[in-house]
């Protein structure tokens, strides 16, 4: 028979209390919290539709699944958030396919320069054969993507002191590009001097002259207020970019199937509305940004595309992606090179 002395009792109680304090707090029964990180501003269509999806999910699950949206890189820049999602510290994020390509190289297949004539063509490709190939690769990387990619739009080129009319105007220009191999390759092949920076660092870099210019959709130029530190905007439409919504693979696998369906359906439903709103916003912003002092020009893109052909850009990336991806892409774009 063991005699429990007061000393043993107090020691045991202290150890038990310490164990309770050090143990991670238990999740409320049946409640799953999704921290959703995004690098865009609170009023950007992508952020607003992520919030809308979260409200739908919480209502449809009677509060069992809660989505908390953190805009403006509050959870870290894209690179940090991607690491956080992979580690499980963040459950979900919206990430540009060009940046996701640092982990899943073939995610950049839709970033080929001057590939798509318009947004609906890009959406069709990503909802179809191209997207099916990319989603399979994302799964292999330990992430789970929503079925429908969201729209960021066509990227345009801004500069602080120089109008861009031809590829020669880019020669040696310090152009900020995101941490994306294909973005760096495209501007390098056009003759610029690409500088890799996350968007969270970009305004200051433009303001201080660390870089001469940048490239983004008009919606980002407006919501990030880049017009305050740039003077010229060339409507180059040189690359279409989408946002994949990805979750940590283990988190997704642990989510009960009925909640997986609700979450997936809500974000894919919002994808359709987000695409429309993103395109409308990008199409409507030229006049507004001109009113803010940004000076626009519309260069002939044929010389830019010819420069990419002669530099070997298309041949290089065709070899990188391989015949399956390239033929899937050209099904929607037509021959690229």
pLDDT single digits (tens) 243-258: 999 999 999 999 999 9
Encoded tokens for 266: 């809500």
Residues 6 or more apart whose CB falls under 8 angstroms from that of 62 comprise none
- Residue 45 near residue 281, CB atoms below 8 Å: yes
> What gap in Å lies between CA 218 and CA 273, rounded to an integer?
18
Low-confidence spans in the chain with pLDDT less than 50: 1-28
Look at the block and give the residue holding tokens 């021959």.
335
pLDDT for position 238: 98
Taking alpha carbons only, the member of 168, 198, 223 closest to residue 214 is 198
Spans of all domains in the chain: 30-333
Helix (H) or strand (E) segment spanning residue 304 = helix 302-311
- Assigned CATH topology for domain 30-333: D-Maltodextrin-Binding Protein; domain 2 (3.40.190)
Place of tokens 């152009």: 175
CA atoms within 13 A on the CB side of 231: 7
Per-residue pLDDT, 94: 98
pLDDT value for 274: 98
How are beta strands 143-145 and 174-177 bridged, if at all?
unpaired
Provide the CA 222 distance to its chain's centre, in angstroms: 17
| Torsion, Cα of 180, 182, 185, 186 (10° steps) | -110
Residue 214: enclosing H or E segment and its boundaries? strand 213-216
Please report, for the chain, how many H helices and E strands are present, in that order.
14, 10
Cα separation values, 242 from 12, 24, 89, Å: 56, 36, 24
Q: Which two tokens stand for residue 326?
A: 């390239």
* Confidence at residue 25, expressed as pLDDT on a 0 to 100 scale: 33
User: pTM here?
Assistant: 0.86
| Residue 247 DSSP one-character state | E
pLDDT at position 30: 64
Q: In angstroms, rounded to a whole number, what is the distance separating the alpha carbons of residues 170 and 162?
A: 9
Q: Which residues have C-beta within 8 Å of that of residue 186, sequence separation ≥ 6?
A: 113, 238, 239, 308, 313
> Which residues, in sequence order, are bridge partners of residue 246?
93, 145
Write the CA distances from 34 to 12, 25, 64, 96, 310, integer angstroms. 37, 16, 11, 19, 47
- Report pLDDT digits (tens) over 294-332: 999 999 999 999 999 999 999 999 999 999 999 999 999
């Amino acid at each position: 028979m063991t005699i429990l002395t007061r000393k043993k009792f107090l020691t045991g109680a202290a150890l038990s209390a310490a164990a309770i304090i050090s143990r991670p707090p238990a999740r409320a029964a049946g409640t799953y919290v999704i921290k959703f990180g995004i690098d865009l501003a609170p009023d950007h269509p992508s952020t607003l539709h992520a919030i809308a999806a979260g409200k739908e999910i919480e209502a449809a699950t009677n509060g069992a699944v809660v989505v908390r949206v953190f805009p403006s890189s509050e959870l870290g820049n894209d690179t940090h958030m991607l690491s956080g999602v992979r580690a499980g510290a963040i459950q979900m994020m919206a990430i540009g396919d060009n940046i996701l390509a640092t982990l899943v190289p073939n995610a950049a297949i839709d970033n080929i320069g001057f590939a798509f004539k318009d947004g609906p063509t890009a959406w069709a490709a990503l909802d179809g054969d191209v997207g099916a190939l990319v989603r399979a690769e994302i799964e292999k990387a330990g992430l789970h993507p929503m079925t429908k990619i969201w729209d960021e739009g066509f990227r345009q080129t801004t500069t602080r002191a120089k109008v861009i009319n031809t590829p020669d105007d880019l020669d040696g220009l310090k152009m900020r590009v995101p941490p994306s191999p294909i973005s760096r390759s495209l501007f390098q092949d056009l003759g610029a001097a690409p500088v890799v920076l996350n968007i969270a660092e970009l305004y200051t870099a433009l303001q201080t002259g660390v870089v001469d210019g940048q490239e983004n959709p008009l919606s980002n130029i407006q919501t990030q207020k880049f017009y305050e530190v740039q003077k010229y905007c060339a409507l180059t439409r040189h690359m279409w970019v989408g946002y994949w919504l990805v979750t940590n693979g283990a988190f997704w696998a642990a989510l009960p199937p009925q909640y997986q369906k609700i979450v997936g359906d809500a974000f894919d439903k919002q994808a359709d509305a987000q695409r429309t709103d993103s395109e409308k916003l990008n199409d409507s912003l030229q006049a507004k940004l001109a009113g803010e002092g940004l000076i626009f020009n519309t260069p002939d893109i044929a010389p830019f595309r010819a420069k990419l052909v002669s530099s070997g850009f298309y041949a290089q990336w065709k070899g990188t992606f391989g015949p399956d991806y390239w033929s899937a892409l050209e099904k929607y774009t037509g021959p690229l090179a």
